[in-house]
Amino acid sequence: MNDQISKRITSFLKNHFQLEWNGIHGASHWARVRQNGLIIARQNGADPVVVSLFALLHDIERRSDGSDPEHGARAARLVQELNGEYFNLHARQMDLLRQACELHSDGETYADITIQTCWDADRLDLGRVGVKPDPMLLCTAAARNQDLIDWCYLRAKRWASDLAPIKRTHHLLRCYSLIFNRGLII
């Protein structure tokens, strides 16, 4: 799989992603989703190449960290354009990746094991926004393991708490900049 995650695709991701690189849907989220997915795939036989590419691409087309109901469909279209140039998947793998991206925010639980693994990998990272994954909303037995849920949740919460002071500082600097630049100082 490492040959699938080349410097070229990493460069594409950095240039294409429109939100904060280190934000809640950015690169560190993708890395945790990939790790989650590979842990699950080792247990259930899901395709690790599809799982890894899903992790990198499922949120690449987000235009907002808030509601963006079409980002999955946009990501599904993009992965088809990237195949052959940034990675090489055969037809079955492409179909799995496209479906996983397109439907990942729809709350589905029934699909091919590889697609389920992709969705679970993403859902296991909800701790980054303060939500503990609900085992009833996870697709695979491997993901419903309470020890895995707890570990993923705590890891994501740690990331969020480590980032909080940086975000607060960034927000304050932005506010100060607006105040000074607009002459709003009284």
Residue 1 lies in a domain: no
16-25, 61-70, 167-176: which has the minimum mean pLDDT? 167-176
- pLDDT above 90: percentage of residues in the chain: 79
CATH for 135: 1.10.3210.10
pLDDT > 60? residue 165: no
- pLDDT above 70: percentage of residues in the chain: 84
Phi and psi angles of residue 87, each rounded to the nearest 5 degrees, phi first: -155, 165
Annotate 42-101 with DSSP letters as a single string.
HHH---HHHHHHHHHHTTTT-S-SS--TTHHHHHHHHHHHHBTTTB---HHHHHHHHHHH
Q: Label residue 43 by pLDDT band (50, 70, 90).
A: very high
Span 11-15, mean pLDDT?
94
Which residues span the domain enclosing 95?
7-181
C-beta neighbour count of 80 within 10 angstroms = 14
Looking at the structure of the chain, the number of domains it has is 1
Residue indicated by tokens 């429109």: 18
How many residues appear in the chain? 186
Do residues 53 and 97 lie in contact, with contact meaning Cβ atoms separated by under 8 Å?
Answer: yes
Q: Label residue 4 by pLDDT band (50, 70, 90).
A: low
30-39, 43-52, 165-174: which has the minimum mean pLDDT? 165-174
Q: Label residue 132 by pLDDT band (50, 70, 90).
A: very high
Cα 31 to Cα 52: distance, rounded to the nearest angstrom: 9
Residue 2 lies in a domain: no
- Give this prediction's pTM: 0.85
pLDDT > 80? residue 161: yes
Residue 186 lies in a domain: no
CB-count burial class (<10 Å; 0-12, 13-18, 19+) for 172: exposed
Arithmetic mean of pLDDT over the chain: 88
Residue 107 lies in a domain: yes
